[in-house]
Amino acid sequence: MTPPDDTPPEKTLEALGWRPWFAEQVTPEEAGLCLPVRVMAVHRGKIAVAGAGFRCFVSPYIPGAGPMDDHPTVGDWLLVDRATMLPVRVLGRQNLFKRRAPGDPRKEQMIAANVDTLFITASCNQDFSVARLERYLVLAREVGVAPVVVLTKTDLTDTPETFAAAARAIEPGLRVETVDGRNPASVARLASWCGKGETVALLGSSGVGKSTLVNTLRGSDSIATQAIRAADGTGRHTTTVREMHRLDQGGWLLDTPGMRELQLADAAAGISEVFDDFILAAQDCRFSNCAHGVEPGCAVRAAIAEGTLSAERFERWRKLANEERDNAAHPAKPRR
Ligand SMILES: Nc1nc2c(ncn2[C@@H]2O[C@H](COP(=O)(O)OP(=O)(O)OP(=O)(O)O)[C@@H](O)[C@H]2O)c(=O)[nH]1
Ligand SMILES: [Mg+2]
Ligand SMILES: [Zn+2]
């Protein structure tokens, strides 16, 4: 098999993002028998891993492991047997991004693990959607990873500030950066999140320019990118593998395939955080189980009528909350 990457391997685990949190989980016996490796990419039937001083492919299947969550995903730390190089177990994660599998909402799909920062990527064109950004933000809040909204393609619009303002309005203090993803000077400020051993995941729709950002930040064009469809501004699903890419300054960018839809799994806490203004207002509704429809004494409706809460945001909150309620009633089964 060809090596996963032709750049020299990292010399230390710290350079790969190893932290005391992971080290503390390794028993003295495991330390003798096993090597820790980080999952760099997930391919069909094999995963690319990197350890101190080497890279190789190993099997993604762990003999005897239970449900999906016990199996490795990109960003994971994995113990492999020194003698056989077979995976032994996934170390406990600092965080795990999951969603409902597209086309099969009863199944969950792991997206990435052990992420320090999430770049929620969208472009300043007709494909821009506040509702979609909110979904990704709910996911970031649920998982507990710091989000940065990265709006690309500023060079293609006369009004990048309009897009940025719409994104900033989603949550007070939300970090929003506007960039021309193909221009190194423009993306340079994103590098501040990508220090040594830091992991930044890029999520967003196909064609928004995730791989372009990775290429520009790395000063390379090694990752394939592809023009979007002129008719509707959507992408062509160019990236098919979830993969970590190293920056010269020592950080890791986790590029992912564009998502058609982000169906959230277990997102109640994330929704409450992103829509905390509605949660707060609802505390003054007369009935504790108020659905904010036609009930008398609804404080949410009153706030919308007064103009203190936005009617559009209310609809988006309701949609996510209803989805979450349906999901909770039909829990997704961890895939075996
Ligand atoms: N003008 C302009 N074009 C950009 C910018 N960012 C990306 N593009 C172009 O947009 C197209 C799609 O970019 P990709 O990087 O392939 O998008 P992606 O998000 O990785 O897409 P998937 O891999 O399908 O998820 C390419 O033709 C890029 O050159 C930008 O900031 N400005
Ligand atoms: Mg891509
Ligand atoms: Zn109400």
> Cα–Cα distances in Å, from 149 out to 54, 109, 121, 205, 241?
34, 23, 6, 13, 22
pLDDT at 195 over 70: yes
| pLDDT for the residue numbered 1 | 35
Q: Which atom of ligand 1 is nearest to the CA of 240?
A: 23
| pLDDT for the residue numbered 267 | 93
| pLDDT for the residue numbered 6 | 64
Q: Which atom of ligand 1 is nearest to the CA of 180?
A: 31
Using alpha carbons only, give the angle 276, 279, 282 rounded to the nearest 5 degrees: 150
| pLDDT for the residue numbered 32 | 96
Reported as a pLDDT band with limits 50, 70 and 90, residue 231 is confident
Query: CA–CA separation, 251 vs 11, rounded Å?
Result: 14
pLDDT digits (tens, 9 = 90+) for 40-96: 999 988 999 999 999 999 999 988 877 777 899 999 999 999 999 999 999 999 999
Q: Whose CA is nearest to atom 1 of ligand 1?
A: 153
- Percentage of the chain surpassing pLDDT 90? 81
Q: In angstroms, what is the span from residue 111 Cα to ligand 1's centroid?
A: 21
* Mean pLDDT for the stretch of residues 30-35: 97
* Mean pLDDT for the stretch of residues 185-194: 96
pLDDT digits (tens, 9 = 90+) for 253-311: 999 999 988 889 889 999 999 999 999 999 999 999 999 999 999 999 999 999 999 99
* Mean pLDDT for the stretch of residues 25-33: 97
Q: In DSSP terms, which residues pair with 119 in a beta bridge?
A: 148, 202
Shortest-distance ligand to the CA of residue 258: 1
| pLDDT for the residue numbered 316 | 96
Element (H, E) at 327: helix 311-329
Q: Where are the alpha helices (DSSP H) in 157-264?
A: 160-168, 184-187, 210-218
Structural domain boundaries in the chain: 14-90, 96-255, 275-329
The values of phi and psi at residue 276, to 5°, are -65, -25
Q: Whose CA is nearest to atom 7 of ligand 1?
A: 209
pLDDT at 334 over 70: no
Crossing angle for the helix pair 160-168 and 130-143, nearest 10 degrees?
Answer: 40
The answer to whether domain 96-255 and domain 275-329 are alike in fold is no
* Residue scoring higher pLDDT (187 or 105): 187
- Percentage of the chain surpassing pLDDT 70? 96
Q: Kindly report the pTM of this predicted structure.
A: 0.94
Q: Whose CA is nearest to atom 22 of ligand 1?
A: 206
Reported as a pLDDT band with limits 50, 70 and 90, residue 233 is confident
Shortest-distance ligand to the CA of residue 288: 3
| pLDDT for the residue numbered 333 | 62
Burial of 2 (0-12, 13-18, 19+ CB in 10 A): exposed
pLDDT digits (tens, 9 = 90+) for 8-25: 899 999 999 999 999 999
Q: Which atom of ligand 1 is nearest to the CA of 227?
A: 27
- Amino acid (one-letter) located at 143: V
pLDDT at 37 over 60: yes
Q: Which atom of ligand 1 is nearest to the CA of 206?
A: 25
Q: Whose CA is nearest to atom 27 of ligand 1?
A: 227
Query: CA–CA separation, 229 vs 303, rounded Å?
Result: 41
Q: Name the CATH superfamily housing domain 275-329.
A: Probable gtpase engc; domain 3 (1.10.40.50)
Query: Best of 157, 202, 212 to mutate for ligand 1, by most ligand atoms within 8 A of CB?
Result: 212
| pLDDT for the residue numbered 116 | 98
Shortest-distance ligand to the CA of residue 302: 3
* Mean pLDDT for the stretch of residues 187-194: 96
Reported as a pLDDT band with limits 50, 70 and 90, residue 102 is confident
Q: Does domain 96-255 have CATH number 3.40.50.300?
A: yes
The DSSP code for 106 is E
Q: Whose CA is nearest to atom 13 of ligand 1?
A: 209
| pLDDT for the residue numbered 75 | 98
Reported as a pLDDT band with limits 50, 70 and 90, residue 335 is low
Where does 14-90 sit in CATH, by number?
2.30.30.140
| pLDDT for the residue numbered 185 | 97
In this structure, the residues whose C-beta lies within 6 A of any atom of ligand 1 are: 152-153, 155-156, 180-182, 206-212, 225-228, 235-239, 257-258
Shortest-distance ligand to the CA of residue 235: 1
pLDDT at 4 over 70: no
Strands 46-51 and 34-43: antiparallel
Query: CA–CA separation, 163 vs 298, rounded Å?
Result: 32
